[in-house]
Amino acid sequence: MKRHVGAKGAVGGVSSQRGISFLGLLFLGVIIAFLAIVGAKVVPTVTEFMAIQKAAKKAAADGATVPAVRAAFDRTASVDYISSITGKDLDITKDGDKIVVNFAYDKEISLFGPAYLLIKYRGSSAGGYN
């Protein structure tokens, strides 16, 4: 009896197929779409946080008193379209001869229905987190 050997060495000419099924592809597409939507909603909050960090450092360098630091932050915030916090929300302290501006705020991002993503941002003009 003669055997027929297929393309990949399978007996009878039937080769095993490898790959992803249609349902697997559909599931993977849904996961990638969900991550893309969440990413598109998170990126603006991250860029705002970076603008707040920059404004806090600039305000700490420019201001000599607490009201001057708050006013400097508010001026920079109005130019950079910062809406999450204001100068009143800043915690301003002095470390030696250096003014340190700390801030913290929460950002809620609506995902779908009653589901939200809560991001807690905090930072300091001195660098790092408190």
**CB under 8 A, 24+ apart: contacts of 57-66:** 57/101, 57/125, 59/87, 59/90, 59/101, 59/125, 60/92, 60/98, 60/99, 60/100, 60/101, 60/125, 60/126, 61/125, 63/99, 64/99, 66/92
The whole-number pLDDT of residue 5 equals 58
What is the pLDDT confidence band of residue 6, given thresholds at 50, 70 and 90? low
pLDDT of 103 above 60: yes
- Render pLDDT for 17-47 as a digit per residue (tens, 0 to 9): 788 889 999 999 999 999 999 999 999 999 9
Look at 117 and 16; give whichever has higher pLDDT: 117
Is the model's pLDDT at 72 over the cut of 80?
Answer: yes
